[in-house]
Amino acid sequence: MTAKRQVMDQISLHPLRFEPIYQYRLWGGRRLASLLSAQLPGDGPIGEAWLLSDREDHPSRVTEGPLKGRTLGQLLHQWPEQMLGKMAGHFRRFPLLLKFLDARDTLSVQVHPSDQQTQYIPAGESGKTEAWVVLEAGTKSCIYAGLKPTTTKDTLRQALANGTVADRLASFTPKPGDGIFIPAGTVHSLGDVVVFEVQENSDVTFRLYDWNHLDARTGQPRPLQVEQAMACIDFAQGAIGPVAPMVDEVKPVLRERLFDCEQFGLWQFGAESPFRVGAERTPRVLVCLAGDGQVEHDGAHYAIGKGDVLLLPAVVGACWCRPHGAISLLEISLPEGT
């Protein structure tokens, strides 16, 4: 055994902080600069900040401590039981991808396949169910989610041909705090909003319509995947609006459950007094939306502030969050696996 391996084996896992990974998107803006401490690159449109990613092309890396520079995938490979607990062995990679989105302009009208539509999913990918928490809403903000009643394949194809797709989409004006659940197969888009997104760890997107956008880098429209999108649409999916939060606790913390599905769970906390986060024998992810404080584990304190993400490995278990004043925090759970 090498000296380096001996040192790594002696490292005790703890709450882990990761660097955001910024992504150029033609529909993006610069509003993520006020949400994250890491400086935005260049002066072009940044549409996404990947907060936690176990993808080969864009892997999240630990920002500090003895594990600095290690990717999320490397951690799962070296410490599967400690990282995933009772979920170890269920996943080839970390099953979720977490992001902030700044949609200055409107995203393409798109759809994602479900896990069961394997003929449309490349090897190594999965379907893509996702959900959003609205953080900011501009004066022109709009969320399109689901189809209007009586929309069929034929009427949607006709709308594509004459440029009236928006007339076939259900829509609403979002406000900060709204939670929107987007099951795979749902036609959707959004614009002039900043959101937090939790999704299955998949990059499979089929564009149905792109509002005649041109990519400033190429001067060309982006490719569409109309046939794949049409095949994956759930035409029985009607209009989708904000979810009604389920209040799990009021004191000493307001704990609301926004999403609880096969792919992930998400709770929102609002508190000024100390409260418990995390769970025994299972990993959890914390994302701070406002305020700051410390997460306490094994006698050590880990700072958390606006825009920060902390992964709590399963071995960490439940621990305390001690706010400095008011704090708003999201906690995300992983699928149980089968």
Contact 204, 120 (CB under 8 A): yes
- Bond preceding residue 252 cis, omega within 30 of 0: yes
pLDDT value at 5 more than 60:
no
Per-residue pLDDT, 11: 76
Contact 100, 194 (CB under 8 A): yes
pLDDT, tens digit (0-9, with 9 covering 90-100), for 33-59:
999 988 899 899 999 999 999 999 999
pTM: 0.94
Confidence class for position 92, pLDDT limits 50, 70, 90: confident
Q: If we measure between CA atoms, which residue out of 1, 116, 8 comes closest to residue 62?
A: 8
pLDDT value at 6 more than 80:
no
Per-residue pLDDT, 290: 96
Superfamily of domain 246-333: Jelly Rolls (2.60.120.10)
pLDDT, tens digit (0-9, with 9 covering 90-100), for 58-88:
999 999 999 999 999 999 999 999 999 989 9
End-to-end Cα, the chain, rounded Å: 35
Of 198 and 213, the structure prediction assigns the larger pLDDT to: 198
Ordered DSSP codes for 7-23: HHHHPPP--EEB--EEE
User: What does the block give as tokens for 126?
Assistant: 């999965």
Confidence class for position 12, pLDDT limits 50, 70, 90: confident
* CATH code of the domain occupying 3-232: 2.60.120.10
Query: In the chain, pLDDT over 90 holds for what percent of residues?
Result: 87
Q: If we measure between CA atoms, which residue out of 269, 276, 312 comes closest to residue 291?
A: 269
Q: Taking all residues of the chain, what is their mean pLDDT, rounded to a whole number? A: 93
DSSP state of 31: G
Same fold, 3-232 and 246-333: yes
Of 38 and 291, the structure prediction assigns the larger pLDDT to: 291
Residues in the chain: 338
Per-domain boundaries in the chain: 3-232, 246-333
